[in-house]
Amino acid sequence: MAHSRLTDAKYKNWVTFGRAIQITRNGVETIIQNAADKYHTSLLATLPNNVPTWKSHLENAHRSRDKRKISWSNSDDTQWLIVGASWEIAKIFMAPLGPRKLDAVNAKTTDISGLLNVLEWSPRGTNGMFNTGVDLSKIAAARSARNVWAHAPLLRVSDADKVDAFASLTSLLQDPELNGDKHVQDAIMELNSLSHTCLAVIEEKELELFVQLRRELGQDIVSLGSDLKDEVGANIEQIKDQMKGLDEFVKKSELQDDLKTFEKKINHLEDSTNSRLEHLEKAISESPQISCDVSKS
């Protein structure tokens, strides 16, 4: 059955906008993962193998002015001294993840908000995660674009907001810190193509975006609980209204069954991936060749 949403220009804008956010997130994923890996390797090579020293170093390295807001709870410090556990360090440079911290095991499993946080709050310079770092105004603009999409009333976005979002996301990817990476370059090309053609068949992406939106709104609630309203760009009542509106929209569009089936597939894939990662991490931690000797001073 055809539904009015499929001919609603502002809803199509919302879906296209959401796809642009996905493309941007996917584009920066590899360069951020590589930077985190390199940074962690440098810490293993230069810092004494004890957690208190690492914590002191990371506190100083964190670019937040308010050190009380550093998200230590995101990270498992028992993993810090193990080769291959770079994302436990990267998560310190994110806003509080709440229960999602167990799912965010690498850049691939981290949403765009978390990746933008790493770009903003991780150390820069010779011994940092990045060199000069991404222009903070570009990070702020990309975050604002994400918030416009996530908090759009009735999942509808104006042409002007969509155009602004594409400009902000493209500007982020074109930053000199990022644009030398092939995945980033590909994302710029894909964004450019999408901005001119939009999505030919929106049904191909809308279920995926519904799942993404639910998760990101849940993460917004966690961030609001940690006094990060400026980053979220909404209050808790607005977020709850958005969640309620999403559920009503799905019901009205007769997509409940399709969405449940899609979520089961996504959860199955994530459980399978997490299981493989857990086995890999266990193998790494049990290997004397690649595990650090914690008795070293």
Confidence bin at 167 (pLDDT 50/70/90): very high
- Residue 176: the pLDDT is 98
Of all residues in the chain, what percent carry a pLDDT higher than 90? 59
Give whole-number Cα distances, 17 to 40, 157, 241, in Å: 34, 8, 21
Summarize the confidence of residues 241-259 as an average pLDDT: 71
Whether the pLDDT of residue 268 is over 60: the answer is no
Average pLDDT, the chain: 84
Question: How high is the pLDDT of residue 277?
Answer: 47
199 vs 77: which has the higher pLDDT:
77
This prediction has a pTM of 0.79
Decide: 106 and 97 in contact? Cβ < 8 Å: no
Predicted confidence at residue 201, as pLDDT, reads 53
In a 3-state reduction of DSSP, which class is residue 124?
A: strand
pLDDT category at 149 given cuts 50, 70, 90 is very high
Q: What is the pLDDT of residue 258?
A: 61
CB atoms within 10 A of CB 53: 12
pLDDT band at 2 (very low <50, low <70, confident <90, very high): very low
Q: In this predicted model, what pLDDT tens digit does every residue of 215-242 receive, in sequence order?
A: 887 888 887 776 666 666 667 787 777 7
Higher pLDDT residue, 235 or 73? 73
> Higher pLDDT residue, 33 or 234?
33
pLDDT at residue number 288: 45
CA angle, corner 37, sides to 77 and 99, nearest 5? 45
* Residues whose CB falls within 8 Å of the CB of residue 272, separated by 6 or more in sequence, listed in order: none
Query: Model confidence at 261, in pLDDT bands (50, 70, 90)?
Result: low
pLDDT at 69 (0 to 100): 87
Q: Tell me the C-alpha distance between 44 and 42, whole Å.
A: 5
